[in-house]
Amino acid sequence: MTHLRFPVVWTGLCIALVAAPAGHAQDHSGHGQTSSAPPGTSTRISMEALHAAGGVPPGWRFALPAGDAAAGRQVFVDFKCHACHAIKGEQFPLAPGQSATAGPELTGMGGHHPAEYLAESVVNPSAVLVDGPGYIGGDGRSIMPPSPDMTIGKLVDLVAYLRSLGATEAGHAHEPAYEKTVGGYRVRLVYKAPGDAGHMHHSMTGGHAGMAGMAMAPASGRLLVFLTDPASGQPIPYTPVKARIEATGRPAQDVTLAPIFGPEGFHQGADVALRDGTSRITLSIGPAALKLGAGAPEGLKRAQRVSFDWK
């Protein structure tokens, strides 16, 4: 799922990003705007409670402030990102005969990654190295050049622009992901579409009666659910997960997910075919079956439900 590793920024930017409070105003150099957390979204906590919780509020997660996508597109041009990364439907000032081929195409990128991952791709592109052409150089690090003049304001706007690239392309190499936080869980839902014909599931009627006697069942993909602690990012195992899949004009499907460890790490998963018209997937999670220590989120002790509108 990790396909974008974007231009490097000056040393120390990552520390500045993590340290910035959620309500801290960000300077948008070049267009005179500031952004801060909307009223009601800030967390208020005493210093004593903050220290008792391990230095961050319970359920805390770094969140990038909202930016200006139009200004971010100009940042994309100013830093010549378009010289390496193509985006379908965009017209950038490339030299005659030049095409963006050095890095991966970014079409639809915003629909597959949260803002914080995109920001890390800019700040520290070697944090996640994707195996494939256009990602890793001969030194084993990202091929991205440094961008020493990138300010935090420009980064915020650039990420807003990348997030606006949310249309899913049929040929895009990875599957859409959905993410929400509920009851002490950060829930990430992914559907991996079926692969080639070798992964399709068939049902036979009439023995060897030929194609006329073969009923084709829909090809099954794989539904994956990643449950992690919102503060630490650590997986939360031993938690039952069920999914209800709703599709327009069809009865709902109920699926029980099983714990799996594989290339994606620990997750819950099930083979399932998402039917045409799938509109919503609702997950029933928990309560967690593992022993909970002092300070564990109370929500892990109860069953939780979270719904994702499916596109």
- pLDDT tens for residues 241-263? 999 999 988 899 999 999 998 77
What is the pLDDT, as a whole number, of residue 96? 66
Question: With 70 as the cut, is the pLDDT of residue 167 above it?
Answer: no
Identify the sign of the CA torsion 197, 198, 200, 206. Answer: positive
**306 has pLDDT over 50:** yes
Fold of domain 8-164: Cytochrome Bc1 Complex; Chain D, domain 2 (1.10.760)
Q: Residue 214's pLDDT is what?
A: 44
Is pLDDT of 50 > 60? yes
Confidence of residue 127 (pLDDT cuts 50, 70, 90): confident
Residue 103, pLDDT score: 74
pLDDT score for 100: 61
Q: Does domain 177-309 have CATH number 3.90.550.10?
A: no
> Taking 80 as the threshold, does the pLDDT of residue 232 lie above it?
no
Sign of CA dihedral 49, 289, 264, 87: negative
Domain boundaries, the chain: 8-164, 177-309
The reply to whether 177-309 shares the fold of 8-164 is no
Euclidean distance between CA atoms 183 and 59, whole angstroms? 9
pLDDT score at 4: 55
pTM for the structure as a whole: 0.51
Contacts of 249 (CB under 8 A, 6+ apart): 277
Q: How far apart are CA 18 and CA 96, in angstroms?
A: 41
Q: How confident is the model at residue 99 (pLDDT cuts 50, 70, 90)?
A: low
Q: What is the pLDDT of residue 20?
A: 37
Q: Among 34-43, 60-69, 136-145, 274-283, which is the least confidently predicted range?
A: 34-43
Mean local confidence (pLDDT), 141-145: 85
Answer whether residue 39 shows pLDDT above 70.
no
Q: State the average pLDDT for the chain.
A: 75
